[in-house]
Chain A
Amino acid sequence: MTPSDLLSILPLLVLVVWACALLLVDLWLKRKGVTAFLAALGLALTAGLALAQAGEETTAFGGMVALDGFASFLNVLFPLSGLLGIAVAYGYLKRMNIERGEYYSLLLFSTAGMMLMAHAADLVVVFLALEFLSLPLYVLAAFARPRLDSEEAGLKYFLLGAFASAFVIYGIALIYGATGTTSLSGIVAAIEAGSLGTSGLLLTIGAALFLVGFGFKVAAVPFHMWTPDVYHGAPTPVTAFMAVGAKAAGFAALLRVFVTAFPALDADLTPVVWVLAALTMFVGNVVAIAQTNIKRMLAYSSIAHAGYILMAFVAFGNPATRADAVASALFYLVTYALTSYGAWAAVIALEKQDPSAGSGQAASGLEINDFAGLGRRRPALAAAMTVFMLSLTGMPPTLGLVGKFYLFRTVIEAGQVWLAVIGVLTSLISAYYYLRVVVVMYMREGAPETTREPWLDFTWAVSALATVILSFLPMALFAWASAAGVMGF
């Protein structure tokens, strides 16, 4: 361990130390607003440091950790998503009587785990990061205890998450067994040396198990079934953070490992990923139609979007499109993060404090029909929500269109035309349920009670503006994602 090792993961280190300190400091803080502010400050600092690292390329800790365009891109995305996670939570926690300082520390820890994931260049670090980011999330999902559905969400997420982790670790063990190393570059070297022979099969099965484990994390069908229950039961800000952060981190791991270590397994894995992506898009979108609860609808929508990002993976084995695969996935992650946070913020704005809180009743019973009349009551919020719904569908003039277009283009360039067609057709299905929200907001009479909180309003307003403005000026983001697509390692 040398100073330069530490320097290369400086943002991460700062965040971890900050989170530990915050946990202690919080004990003496009466006003939890200060904790929230300190947590946000830490995240902002981390994001700034990560931004300062952009352009650096190095490996550290004996090649276990990589700092490259990919890592620094995600290391900016994760703290920013954490910041939004705080912005949407601040008022909500107060309103729901669950304002405890641990929320902020846990969120910081989880963010740190995600950042570690972005750095990981060794399967052991991948696993470490996976647990590091997941454990705080398990607790956060159950944060609204003693509300039963929140506790249920936490427990379900934990049990299934542990189950999925077992697959990951077993997969890693098999990969190690086949190649004798857990380092991604070592795996590549072992494959290239061509000495694997029969243990190549072992490697394939290991990779498949790895895919299963992370398929769970990113909520790909058929490993998605926890998602609606957990997203629905967890406190909404946690859901928003989970939907964006955990998903992005899962994809970070998949991208890094598949693109750097497994291109040689292309022939075996591409059909599997193909089927997973198609299934995920189809099931996510079709089932979302039947949902009447907005949180469950958005949960299925997040499953469907995992499918879209998975599409990018079918291009991972093709050297010509590999960089595009990573870049388009990253671009789409940003798109999804912005839009999804905005949509969840709108949900939070409408969620009322449950009169029966504490009695074990489900509190997050916000239905899509409860958005009726929002167009008249809160025109700006309704307009923002419309932007989010359009963006999730992939319609102009939103970033969702650009993101989806980039994804589809990559997929088609990789020669998977039919997958792109499935993607387009399922997008069409998705229009049904996204636009229904718009219809309800503008065309049904109702008087929804909404909350006005400065930070919440800030979140949806900024997300909506960014979604629209970036769709007209996506060049900078695009260039950055492209730079991150070429993994320095």
Chain B
Amino acid sequence: MLTSQLTWLVLTLAGGVLFAAFAPLLRRRAERLAAPLLALLPLAVFVQLLAALPAVQMGETAQARFDWVPALGLSLTFTLDGLGLAMGLLIAGIGALVILYGGAYLHGHPSLGRFYAVVLLFMTAMLGIALSGNALLLFVFWELTSITSFLLIGFEHERPGARAAAWQALLVTGGGGLALMAGFALLAVITGSFEMNVWAARAAEIAVHPLAPAAFLLILGGAATKSAQFPFHFWLPNAMEAPTPVSAYLHSATMVKAGVFLLARLFPVLGGLPLWTPALTTLGLLTLVGASLLALAQTDLKRLLAYTTVSALGMLVFLLGLGTPLALKTAALFLVTHALYKGALFLSAGSVDHGTGTRDIARLGGIGRAMPFTAAAAGLAALSMAGLPPLLGFIAKELVYETTLEAAAPLLLTGLTLVANAATVVVAVWVGWRPFWGRPGDDHLHPHEGTPGLWGPPLLLALLGLALGLFPALTGDGLIAPMTAAIVGQSVKVKLALWHGLTPMLGLSALTLLLGVGLAALRRVVQPRIAAFWRALAPLGPANLYHRFVHGLLSLASWQTAVLQNGYLRVYALVIVLTTAALAGLTIVLKDVTLTLSPWQPPRFYDFILVGVILTAAFLVTRSRSRVATIALLGSIGFSIAVIFLLYSAPDLAMVQFAIETLTVILFVLVLYKLPKFSRLSSTPTRIADVFFALTGGLLMTLIMLLVSRHASDASAAAYYAANSLSQANGRNIVNVILVDFRGLDTLGEITVLAIAAIGVFSLIRLGGKPGRKQRAVPKGGRTK
């Protein structure tokens, strides 16, 4: 039953992608109807998920599997359990609201159709993450969300800021995705499968495997970049360049939760690693505290919300890191709570921006009367964010304190959490109360309430936070329990309540509120100091490191292009020679071969003469300033070698060598006329360096020669010819028989080739080359930015 529901869900999603492709067309045809029509898709998914909820509450899970490349372990496995279902409800529900909201917010925008299409595509990908049972499938969806996020951040691509932010977000999250893939691959090496339930089943085996820490760290890298954990958090505030509905949907409610979701998903697999708790709690706490303090320095509504989103994500990672059933339950609840109130706040911020034209809290004030619905939505959501009863946020905060008090170092953890929560309260006041009530702000704002599309969705989300808070038992049993069960891997009891009596948690909540509201009232005093503090720290910040890294990479690339890739053939050849010398030379050295000279005949006097001629000629070639002389000298080297062949009883080789040398010299002389004046192009230091390079190459060849000469050569060919030349070819002169008989076809071929080459070169010289062509004077360097 559940499985067929899941199959239908997947089919709906596949249809959704096709549907998304027609969004721009639909928008052009029916501007007014487009948003409601398109919102039907997320709505359908939402309803389907709701229909599946009862079965999941009973503890059922479903799997649907489509084979892709079974041989590679690639299959499209979808799983539906409590965690995926809750995530899916958020994604689909908020998705429907964001489509409606976007239609109002971007009303009349020329690229609204593109917005619809990409948001729907994103939603499909995000639901894919929530429902994937196969790690590779998850990776594919993961990268798709990065790409769609890139497109949405850069939605208003006329602004350079938007382009840069889109780019940065893509590099950070897309890159993290690749690390994730590497981690998955390692897990697959350990278990031989990419199915996540297989991993979970073999968790004990994974925990002791030596590759497991590497896999964990790589996966953590992927999750941390996606969920904007320190030190990768900087992309998220910059991503606020996106239109507000996008910020609400991707960069607060859903996509940035993907990292947290993945960690929760893999808790049964990796939770047993000794590294899990220290790594995650440290990472989470750093992010939690750092980001909430960073938030206090912001004056832009969206950036305020962005930094608190980062801190909430830190909280989630921290809770998952603790890994106790209570902590996991808290994490599950907090995830849902945060998505609801933060989505509402972002959407109201967009509505404020739309109604007044600014998001600066220093300029905003007293607009609540003109925008009552927006104010109500923002206020309600802010109350949840601040953690006031009877909202869901209150229950979540109580649970957080309960968790930290129960943890290993209660004082430290509770203290840090308190600081972060107080900062969150401050921000809640600044975004939920400050713009709407109290002292009027700028006179030129002319606030006005927008269409229902602008205030309806945030109000709905905020009310949902209230409703869920009012019925804590229902929320706990219906949603949080299945979620927690899916994380832990077994069913758990979740009892949520608004009132627990006079507990330490209640006291801490009150203290948090007191601190937060007090600080919030002192904004004009507090904020500049905090801002100054962070400004002083900025050069050390990861954002700066990121820029330096990108810049460094660019400089390195430019340097390589300018210095090594300079267009000079000699440099290219030089690199090849040196590499070869290093490769072969190292082999010889590493093999520790003792090079001994094999016994040889005492040299005869003409050996000395020939070697003398060769050496002298070789030296003179390098000194010569005339082409003819160079060719003559090279020729004399060749002929001397031919004579050596002759003397050491290799007449056939000598013949070939003679022929080739002669032909080469003739060809050289023929082309000589066409060549430009012989000039020395290299400077003296270059030439001296070249001497060493040449000697290196020569040394290598000598070494190889010594090696070869040590090896007694196989005389099989000679014996074969000696035995067969008379019997088979009736010839006594073996060389002649070889040339004209055994290798007659070769000889014919060689002659033909030489003749054709000679004709070709001759005709080229006669026909080719138009007069007056200029030599290229400028080398190809500097083809860089």
A residues sitting closer than 8 Å to B (CB atoms) are: 146, 148, 152, 156, 159-160, 163-164, 167, 174, 177-178, 180, 198-199, 201-202, 204-205, 208-209, 211-212, 216, 222-223, 225-226, 228-229, 268, 272, 283, 286-293, 296, 360, 390, 395-397, 401-402, 405-406, 408-409, 412-413, 417, 420-421, 424-425, 427-429, 431-432, 435, 439, 442-445, 472, 474-475, 478-479, 482
Contact = CB atoms under 8 A, between A and B. Distances in A.
Contacts of A396: 140, 143-144
A286 B711 contact: no
B623 interface: no
A482 B186 CA distance: 23
A482 B564 CA distance: 39
A188 to B, nearest CB: 17
B40 interface: no
Given A417-B186, A474-B69, A478-B69, A296 B783 contact: yes
Contacts of B68: 472, 474-475
B22 to A, nearest CB: 14
Interface string B558-579: 1011001101010111011001
Interface of B: 68-72, 74, 136, 140, 143-144, 147, 150, 154, 157-158, 163, 166-167, 170-171, 174-175, 178-179, 181-182, 185-186, 188-189, 211, 214, 550, 553-554, 556-558, 560-561, 564-565, 567, 569, 571-573, 575-576, 579-580, 583-584, 587-588, 591, 593, 704, 707-708, 710-711, 713-714, 716, 770, 773-774, 776, 780, 783-785
A236 B68 CA distance: 36
Contacts of B72: 402, 405-406, 409, 478
A137 B189 CA distance: 42
A283 B69 contact: no
18 contacts: A160-B576, A199-B711, A201-B591, A202-B707, A209-B580, A216-B576, A222-B575, A222-B576, A289-B554, A409-B185, A413-B189, A427-B178, A428-B171, A429-B553, A432-B553, A435-B174, A439-B163, A479-B71
A409 B74 CA distance: 12
B159 to A, nearest CB: 10
B584 A205 contact: yes
A164 B580 CA distance: 11
Nearest to B558: A290
Contact of A432 (B154, B171, B579): B171
A208 B569 contact: no
Contact of A439 (B154, B189, B569, B770): B154
Contacts of A148: 776
Given A397-B140, A417-B211, A429-B553, A292 B572 contact: no
Contacts of B179: 424, 428
A413 B189 CA distance: 7
Contacts of B774: 360
A180 B569 contact: no
Nearest to B703: A205
Given A290-B557, A424-B179, A360 B573 contact: no
Given A396-B144, A409-B188, A432-B553, 6 more contacts: A198-B711, A201-B593, A204-B587, A222-B576, A291-B557, A390-B147
| Interface of A: prevailing SS | helix
A304 B174 CA distance: 19
Contacts of B166: 439, 443
A412 B186 contact: yes
B711 to A, nearest CB: 5
Contact of B579 (A201, A223, A408): A223
A31 B665 CA distance: 42
Nearest to B125: A396
A293 B713 CA distance: 53
Q: Which of B158, B556, B580 has most A Cβ within 10 Å?
A: B580
A428 B175 contact: yes
Contacts of A482: 71
A442 B157 contact: yes
B2 to A, nearest CB: 26
A180 B171 contact: no
A428 B182 CA distance: 12
A290 B785 contact: yes
Contacts of A429: 553
Given A146-B773, A417-B214, A428-B178, A268 B710 contact: no
B575 A424 contact: no
B645 to A, nearest CB: 15
Nearest to B154: A443
B770 A167 contact: no
Which 4 interchain pairs have the tightest Cβ spacing? A290-B557, A443-B157, A225-B572, A396-B140
Contacts of A413: 189
Given A225-B565, A408-B185, A286 B560 contact: yes
Contacts of B593: 198, 201
Nearest to B594: A198
Given A174-B708, A289-B553, A395 B143 contact: yes
Contacts of B587: 201, 204-205, 208, 268
B174 A428 contact: yes
Contacts of A472: 68
Contacts of A402: 69, 72, 74
B69 to A, nearest CB: 5
Nearest to B591: A201
B96 to A, nearest CB: 25
B770 to A, nearest CB: 7
